[in-house]
Structure 1
Amino acid sequence: WLRESETSFRLVDALLTIVHPELYRHSSAVREQLLANEEIMDLRELIRAWPTLFTAISVVYNRETPFHCDSKSAPQWYDLFLSVSSYTNAILELPMLGIHAHYMPGTAALFSGLLLRHGVSPVDQGDCIGYVFYMQPSVFHFASISLGKWVKYSSLST
């Protein structure tokens, strides 16, 4: 599954570099540190095979996700929510921002899942598969890499 998804997951990384370049750089540094770490040499092949700079992926299949905040992140980070397959009438909601958006197949949404309550409605028809890409602060700490700063519009426009 990881090898078959590699191209798609590289596109996920490309989205991250556009939307949060500092997080992309820090996550790249984490990967380099993990590959260089002598203590975890037995994990080197797994680290090389991991197809994204996000340190974790959750898969959600055909289920409504009630409003919640994700606890395993850092507030200044963005998680990436990606919907795939074929289904109709799913809604992604971020109530604190007043967002009530059609969550169509192929949609990618990046936001802080820790800070913003969010949820996805059940689908009317079809199968809804969603991937949630996120970072684990513990991996950054293990690699001795800073969690980074908040992304700002001015840092994206330069």
Structure 2
Amino acid sequence: MCTCLQFWALVFNCAAVICNRQCPLHRDPRSTPEGFDIMTSVGHYCDGLMTLSNLSIWLRYNSGAVVGCSGHIVRHGVTYTGDRIVWTWFIHDSLHNFMGTPQSSYATYMDVD
């Protein structure tokens, strides 16, 4: 596994493919709070709506949409009508802990003169 991680080009260490599932409001407790989950949705469907309830945000989430948020912190859910596939990329610290690699941290901004 250590050899594979040297060539791993993504910061994400997990992926999920979800087909035709209405997604009730939830959080992802195994994802890192510091990392953003990236959700990409495709298919033949309409009326796609993503709710980020604790931010009071509702997004049109039709085919081709990409959303990034901290799934650990932000309660999110999706409703739609039709056929849909979602690719979700995220980070689980359990793999970092197992391999002894550094965990991610929050992005920071440094002003350089």
Aligned residue for 1:27?
Answer: none
1:53 deviation in Å?
4.2
Aligned residue for 2:23?
Answer: 65
Of the two structures, which has the highest relative contact order with CA contacts closer than 8 Å and spacing of 6 or more?
2
Q: Does 1:34 align with 2:2?
A: yes
- Counterpart of 1:54 (choices 12, 17, 22) is 12
Q: CA RMSD in A?
A: 2.5
1:129 deviation in Å?
0.5
The alignment's TM-score, normalised by the length of structure 1, stands at 0.62
More strand by proportion, 1 or 2?
2
Aligned residue for 1:94?
Answer: 52
More helix by proportion, 1 or 2?
1
The alignment's TM-score, normalised by the length of structure 2, stands at 0.84
Which amino acid letter does the alignment assign opposite residue 124 of structure 1?
T
Moved more, 101-110 or 49-58: 49-58
- Partners of 1:49 and 1:124 lie apart in 2 by 39
* Percent identical: 26
- Partners of 1:149 and 1:69 lie apart in 2 by 19
**Structure 2: gaps spanning 5 or more residues:** none
How do residues 1-158 of structure 1 correspond to structure 2 at under 5 angstroms? 34-35=2-3, 44=4, 52-121=10-79, 123-125=80-82, 127-152=83-108, 154=109
Q: Note if contact 1:79-1:112 (Cα within 8 Å) is conserved in structure 2.
A: yes
